[in-house]
């Protein structure tokens, strides 16, 4: 068998080929073009055959699970490359202690994820899902005075003005929305002026002014639980919260209470805590919540580009090239 010396393709561990529950066909094609793929189930059945050969792991939707037991079974592992930007599911301290490199795929998903943010904002504001049911469901009465909320001219607060947040601002600017943002660091004045964005030094300053608040900040120790009872009480009773970041940033219990008590008007969520929500979760019963299933980057084009970048990151790490997207 080939190893990863010279020009031979390296052996890489990946979850499984499956269009519904694993790596879809377009990701599999990219993998097979550049690496020798060892599927996780095959590895479990043939550890002696593959343990010494595997030098990298490709993670697709957090799989396969990387823990101490797996690391112990792969003595020649050098790099873990995640198809995605977030790596909060990984034990980075453990991986660093093993001398492993970790890479991700930021920026490449900015535009698609920003599209999802605006999709959720518009769908919630114009009550798209309720209108759909008015046509489809014979048990839902047609209402001639059924109304949503105006988006153009409304005020949007963006929490987290990185690449995705700025892409959201560009889209909101095209809708002639008034834009406020809160971020650890302020954007250059030229970038603010390009989208008509005003900086808020504190989250509290932003919340009280906005009709829509969209969360785009990474999940960190500081942002976990950033939105709780107090934050919702600071928002307008007519406001909508939109989350395209990570579910843990919102205290789900506090959000449920705020929606039930009409402290805020609505929520639009691409991510939740827990994720997925249990079938009987009370949040899923509310008509003023719009859901998507963590689909921010979910277009074939973007996911293909993410896989290609993840593979390139892995190959660069194994060949000793400088890493643009290195986490550790």
Active-site residue (options: 193, 204, 222, 275): 275
Q: Annotated catalytic residue: which of 191, 246, 281, 303?
A: 246
Q: How far apart are CA 197 and CA 272, in angstroms?
A: 28
**Residue 89 DSSP SS3:** coil
- Report pLDDT for 8: 87
- Evaluate if residue 5 carries a pLDDT over 60: no
Question: CA-CA distance, 193 to 152, in Å (whole number)?
Answer: 18
Query: What CATH code would you report for 110-291?
Result: 3.40.50.720
Q: How confident is the model at residue 7 (pLDDT cuts 50, 70, 90)?
A: low
* Confidence at residue 265, expressed as pLDDT on a 0 to 100 scale: 98
Helix (H) or strand (E) holding 111: helix 110-125
pLDDT of residue 10: 97
Distance (Å, whole) CA 31 – CA 64: 15
How many residues does this entry show for the chain?
A: 328
SS (H, E, C) 228-242: CHHHHHHCCCCCEEE
> Residue 3: is its pLDDT beyond 70?
no
Structural contact between residues 235 and 262, judged by C-beta atoms closer than 8 angstroms: no
Mean pLDDT score of the chain, rounded to an integer?
95
Q: Is 193 considered catalytic here?
A: no
Q: Could you state, in order of their start, the residue ranges of all structural domains in the chain?
A: 11-108+299-319, 110-291
Q: Is 55 among the residues known to form the active site?
A: no
Model pLDDT for residues 17-75, shown as the tens digit of each residue = 999 999 999 999 999 999 999 999 999 999 999 999 999 999 999 999 999 999 999 99
Element at 197 (helix H, strand E): strand 197-199
Kind and range of the H or E element at 36? strand 36-39
For residue 271, give every residue at least 6 positions away whose Cβ sits within 8 Å of its Cβ, in sequence order, or none.
Answer: 243, 244, 245, 246, 247, 294, 296
Catalytic (active site) residue 186: no
Longest dimension (CA), the chain: 70
Distance CA 209, CA 212 (A): 9
Q: Give me the pLDDT at residue 4, please.
A: 43
pLDDT single digits (tens) 226-235: 999 999 999 9
More confident residue, 28 or 6: 28
- pLDDT value at residue 143: 87
Catalytic residue among 127, 171, 187, 294: 294
* Residue 297, helix vs strand vs coil: coil
pLDDT tens column, 259-307: 999 999 999 999 999 999 999 999 999 999 999 999 999 999 999 999 9
Q: pTM score, two decimals?
A: 0.90
**Fold agreement between 11-108+299-319 and 110-291:** yes
Q: What is the pLDDT of residues 127-154, one digit of tens each?
A: 999 999 999 999 998 888 899 999 999 9
Whether 197 has a pLDDT exceeding 80, the answer reads yes
Say whether domain 11-108+299-319 belongs to CATH 3.40.50.10680: no
Nearest CA to 303 out of 39, 38, 10, 58 is that of 58
Kindly state the tokens that stand for 38: 């060892």
Which contacts of 248-254 are long-range, i.e. CB under 8 A and separated by 24 or more positions? 248/88, 248/219, 248/224, 248/273, 249/215, 249/217, 249/219, 249/223, 249/224, 249/225, 250/215, 250/225, 250/226, 251/225, 251/227, 252/283, 254/227, 254/228, 254/229
In this prediction, residue 236 carries a pLDDT of 98
Q: Is the pLDDT confidence value at 161 over 80?
A: yes
Rounded Cα–Cα distance for residues 246 and 130 (Å)? 25
Residues 212, 118: Cα–Cα separation, whole Å: 11
């Amino acid at each position: 068998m080939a190893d990863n010396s010279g020009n031979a393709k390296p052996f890489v561990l990946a979850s499984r080929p499956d269009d519904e529950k694993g790596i879809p066909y377009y990701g599999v094609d990219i993998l097979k073009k550049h690496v020798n793929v060892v599927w996780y189930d095959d590895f479990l059945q043939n550890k002696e055959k593959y343990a010494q050969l595997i030098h990298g792991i490709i993670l697709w939707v957090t799989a396969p699970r990387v823990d101490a037991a797996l690391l112990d079974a792969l003595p020649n592992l050098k790099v873990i490359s995640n198809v995605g930007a977030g790596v909060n599911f990984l034990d980075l301290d453990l991986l660093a202690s093993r001398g492993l490199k970790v890479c991700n795929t930021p920026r490449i998903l900015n535009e698609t994820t920003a599209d999802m943010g605006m999709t959720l904002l518009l769908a919630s504001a114009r009550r798209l899902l309720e209108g759909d049911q008015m046509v489809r469901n014979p048990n839902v009465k047609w209402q001639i005075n059924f109304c949503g909320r105006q988006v153009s001219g409304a005020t949007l607060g963006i929490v987290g003005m990185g690449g995705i947040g700025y892409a959201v601002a560009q889209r909101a600017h095209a809708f002639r929305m008034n834009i406020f943002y809160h971020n650890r660091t302020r954007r250059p004045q030229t970038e603010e002026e390009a989208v008509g964005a005003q900086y808020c030094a504190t989250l509290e300053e932003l919340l009280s002014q906005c009709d829509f608040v969209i969360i785009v900040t990474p999940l960190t120790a500081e942002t976990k639980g950033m939105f709780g009872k107090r934050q919702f009480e600071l928002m307008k009773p007519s406001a909508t919260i939109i989350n395209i970041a990570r579910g843990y940033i919102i205290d789900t219990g506090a959000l449920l209470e705020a929606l039930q008590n009409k402290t805020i008007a609505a929520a639009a969520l691409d991510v939740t805590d827990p994720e997925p929500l249990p079938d009987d979760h009370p949040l899923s019963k509310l008509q003023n919540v719009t859901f998507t299933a963590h689909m921010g980057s979910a277009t074939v084009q973007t996911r293909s580009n993410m896989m290609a970048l993840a593979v390139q990151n892995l190959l660069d790490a194994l060949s000793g090239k400088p890493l643009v997207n290195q986490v550790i």
